[in-house]
Amino acid sequence: MSEESIVNAVEKVSKSVVNIASVRMMQDQVFRVFPVQGVGSGIIIDDRGHILTNNHVIDETDTLRVTLGDSKQVSAKVVGTDEETDLAVVRAEPLEINSKDPVKFQPVNLGNSEELKVGQIVIAVGNPFGLTGGPTVTAGIISSLNRNVQFENGILELVQTDAAINPGNSGGPLINTKGEVVAINTAKIPYGQGIGFAVPINTVKSILNDLVENGHVTRPWLGINTVKLNPRIASFYRLPLVHGALIVNVEPYSPADNAGLRRGDIIEEIDGNKIESPSQISSYIRKKKVVNDRVTVIVNRYGRVYEVPFQMEAHT
Look up 170 and say whether it is catalytic: yes
Question: Which is it for strands 63-67 and 73-82: parallel, antiparallel or unpaired?
Answer: antiparallel
Pair 149, 161: CB distance under 8 Å: no
Alpha-helical regions (H) of 86-158: none
Rounded Cα gap, residues 3 and 13, in angstroms: 16
Look up 86 and say whether it is catalytic: yes
Look up 47 and say whether it is catalytic: no
Going from the C-alpha of 313 to that of each of 156, 205, 223, 284, the distances in angstroms are 21, 21, 10, 15
Q: Give the active site residue among 16, 41, 170, 279.
A: 170
Q: Give the active site residue among 16, 41, 56, 143.
A: 56
Q: How many CB atoms lie within 10 A of CB 74?
A: 20
Hey, which bits of 180-254 come out as E strands? 181-188, 196-200, 219-221, 224-228, 245-250
Pair 69, 18: CB distance under 8 Å: yes
Per-position DSSP letters for 157-199, written without gaps between them: EEEEE-S---TT-TT-EEE-TTS-EEEEEEEE-TTSSS-EEEE
Q: Give the active site residue among 86, 113, 143, 162.
A: 86
Catalytic residue positions, numbered: 56, 86, 170
